[in-house]
Chains A and B, each alone.
Chain A
Amino acid sequence: MTAPAILPERGPADRLTAFFWRRPRVFLALLLAPPLLWLGVVYLGSLATLLWQSFYSIDEFSGMVKEDFTLKTYAELLRPANFDVILRTLLMSAAVTLGCALLAFPIAYFAARFARGRWKAVFYLGVMLPLWSSYLVKVYAWKLILAKEGIVTWAAEATHTSGLLNALLALPVIGGNSLSTSYIGMFMVFVYVWIPYMILPMQAALERVPTSMLEASQDLGASRAQTFRTVILPLALPGVIAGSIFTFSLTMGDYIIPQIVGNSANFIGMAVYQLQGTAGNIPLAAAFSMVPILIMLVYLTLAKRAGAFDAL
């Protein structure tokens, strides 16, 4: 009979370690379970429930949901009044994305190419600072800034540019009685609120453009404009597209800004909020919330083709 090996008595923790060592898959499963449960059940599960609701319809007088499978609710989306809502949201999202891209590019370019040391810190602080204050506070502040009797009107009067402001507000469709009740004002607030999400990915992409390529371009006799068009822009495009995904989807889903600024015309987010919260029409609200999901899927597919995710 051989003598037992001289090992210390194994405690429960040791045995557990040994168990996991022998069965690495169990360990992996345990580690992954909470995030998968979160993503799968809490997030995707509730999304699926929502999707399911969109195939129900509503009893038109009592407002109670009829749990019969029907496509009637989706057909309602195509009614002119509802289709307007979708179109309006899409156009605003596109305009905001374009506006953010145009405004953000010079800022991101400066930060990526020229800002050094302290200026870089100032840049990051400047971009991030607005994100630290409450979204609602910012939007209400903008309502006051843009109001008929607000700061912008006052400044325009003081600088004798009221004529310019009035000409802007006299524009059909996008104009209005005051900035705070017009699409122009809403556009400004959207751009202000979402622009950090455009600047940051753009700056990251621009920083990755190697200086050697710019030098090579110059050596080969390209003008500054040519270098910009044929070297910088294509290389920075994935960053622009990544940023546009944020601004586009955030605008499309927002329901607070169109309620506070603008002329009360519905946006998708607002329509969902009103339909589920105040009209109790959950099926139509669910159908409406499917629209941004579908649009974003198409958008992401196009972005993938353009190579926006290659750097990930």
Chain B
Amino acid sequence: MKTIRLMGTTALAVLTGLTPAVAQVTAIGEGEGEVSIVAWAGYIERGETMKEFDWVTKFEADTGCKVSVKTANTSDEMVALMNEGGFDLVTASGDASLRLIAGGRVQPVNIDLIPSWATVDDRLKDAPWHTVDGVHYGVPYMWGPNVLMYNTDAFKDAPPTSWNVVFEEMTLPDGQSNKGRVQAYDGPIHIADAAQYLMFHKPELKITSPYELNEEQYKAALDLLRVQRDLVGRYWHDAFIQMDDFKNEGVVASGSWPFQVGLMQSEKQPIASVIPQEGATGWADTTMMHVDAAHPNCAYKWMEHSLASNLQSDLSVWFGANPAVLAACTDGRGMQTAEGCTANGLDDFDKIRFWTTPVANCAQGEGACVPYYRWVSDYIGVIGGR
């Protein structure tokens, strides 16, 4: 009931145009003994999946803050969990972070209290998905591309070079059609992947950003997704069900995360991945702090830990992603190396279009773009065959 009332007042504040003035933390005190984090699967590892991947145990020993993790599968789920409350931190992607800021669910972070802030990659320090009007609402965590994962048996010697294998019907190098053998992401943000594909193949649509689509561009993207609907047997949102579908359902190509690619390769499956010619969408995640975080001191300690420890280096190996701290690639604090970072796409930063929440007021003008809530309902429609 308290949360409901709280959500009510916050909604009211947003409605009346009042941004709730939230005071930043000004000093870090003793830890409160615990910290709870909403995170993507595989983001917070304590050596239970694989012994050598552990960036929690030492933090708990050093600070006395016990870490509890709630994993979320989609950005919408993260926003919903943060709206419910009861968590201290969230590793939010760009399509969630701005919504969290607008909804008043996260508080500004005082970067003066995070000594390692200076080591953060300059490309990420003032990134628009966590910095609003010069105020930082979080600490960069990790970023990476959404790669095209494929089965090397099906593609033989001709690995895919374009996203067309998941968007248009065609015969794959193994002689069979791709119909029913590809997957797509079960989240509205996948519309951006379609838009990015059109950006490359239909320049006459004049798409400049896959997250800023006017009605005409948006309609073209949906039409492409309707073609894709006929090719896709099942959409994926759970990384482990997707891996099962690649093993037992005959799925041979899909947009995916480096996480699944790495895990399946470690199981000796015939799997590889590529960033096709059209480029890729990507995620850049930020550790953000809940406006009512019950354990602010432990939360600040974790944010510092996330930048300073072996976390950045080992997580980038584990997840196949890129650290927010460049030194993590080279200074040997973990297992990552300069070559590893290059392989994960550290130098492709400019080719990746990072997830951001689509809003009505965009670079094309006031109210010119289709906002996110329509992406949600229309994507449900497309999957339902409409």
Contact = CB atoms under 8 A, between A and B. Distances in A.
Contacts of A62: 11, 14, 99, 102-104
Nearest to A271: B380
Given A177-B179, A177-B180, A178-B250, A65 B384 contact: no
A279 B7 contact: no
Contact of B80 (A67, A85, A263, A279): A279
Interface stretch (A30-38, A116-124, A145-153, A207-215): A145-153
Given A176-B233, A178-B180, A262-B234, A61 B102 contact: yes
A61 B7 contact: no
Contacts of A279: 76, 80, 376
B271 to A, nearest CB: 16
Contacts, number: 119
A155 interface: no
Contacts of B381: 80-81, 84
A93 interface: no
Interface residues of A, number: 40
A264 B385 CA distance: 10
Contacts of B179: 177
Contact of B249 (A61, A63, A85, A147): A147
Interface residues of B, number: 45
Contacts of B103: 59, 62-64
Contacts of B77: 277-278
Given A61-B102, A178-B250, A260-B241, A266 B180 contact: no
Given A262-B234, A264-B235, A63 B248 contact: no
A280 B79 contact: yes
A22 interface: no
A64 B10 contact: yes
Nearest to B78: A278
B371 interface: yes
Interface in A261-312: 262-266, 271, 276-280
Contacts of B377: 76, 79, 81-82
B94 to A, nearest CB: 15
Contacts of A229: none
A180 interface: yes
A149 B14 CA distance: 52
Nearest to B184: A264
Most interface-central of A63, A65, A176 (chain B CB within 10 A): A63
Contacts of A262: 234
B380 A266 contact: yes
Given A64-B103, A277-B80, A280-B79, A149 B248 contact: yes
A59 B373 CA distance: 9
Interface in A132-176: 143-144, 147-150, 176
B250 A65 contact: no
A72 interface: no
Contacts of A177: 179-181, 233, 250
A60 B14 CA distance: 12
A180 B248 CA distance: 10
B69 interface: no
A265 B385 contact: yes
B15 A59 contact: yes
A271 B7 CA distance: 23
Interface string A40-68: 00000000000000000001111111110
Contact of A181 (B8, B180, B372, B383): B180
Interface in B1-34: 4, 7-8, 10-11, 14-15
Nearest to B183: A264
Nearest to A261: B234
Contact of B234 (A59, A81, A264): A264
B76 A266 contact: no
B384 A88 contact: yes
B7 A64 contact: yes
A81 B386 contact: yes
B359 interface: yes
Given A81-B377, A178-B249, A279-B376, A65 B180 contact: no
Nearest to B179: A177
Nearest to B358: A61
A264 B249 CA distance: 14
A275 to B, nearest CB: 9
B186 interface: yes
Contacts of B7: 64-65
Contacts of A180: 249
A264 B372 contact: no
A82 B386 CA distance: 10
Contacts of A266: 380, 383-384
Contacts of A63: 76, 79-80, 83, 99, 103
A266 B384 CA distance: 7
A180 B249 CA distance: 8
A206 B246 CA distance: 48
A60 B186 contact: no
Contacts of B232: 263-264
B73 interface: yes
Most interface-central of B77, B249, B378 (chain A CB within 10 A): B249
Given A63-B80, A177-B250, 11 more contacts: A60-B371, A61-B372, A62-B11, A63-B79, A63-B99, A63-B103, A64-B103, A84-B384, A144-B248, A177-B180, A266-B383
Interface of A: 59-67, 76, 79-82, 84-85, 88, 143-144, 147-150, 176-178, 180-181, 260, 262-266, 271, 276-280
10 closest Cβ pairs, A-B complex: A177-B180, A81-B381, A62-B103, A280-B80, A181-B233, A60-B373, A148-B250, A64-B11, A177-B233, A278-B77
26 contacts: A59-B11, A61-B99, A61-B372, A62-B103, A63-B83, A64-B11, A66-B11, A79-B377, A81-B378, A81-B381, A148-B248, A148-B250, A149-B249, A150-B248, A176-B233, A178-B233, A178-B250, A180-B249, A181-B234, A264-B234, A264-B383, A266-B383, A271-B380, A278-B77, A279-B80, A280-B83
Interface of B: 4, 7-8, 10-11, 14-15, 73-74, 76-77, 79-80, 83, 99, 102-104, 179-181, 186, 232-235, 241, 244, 248-250, 357, 359, 371-373, 376-378, 380-381, 383-386
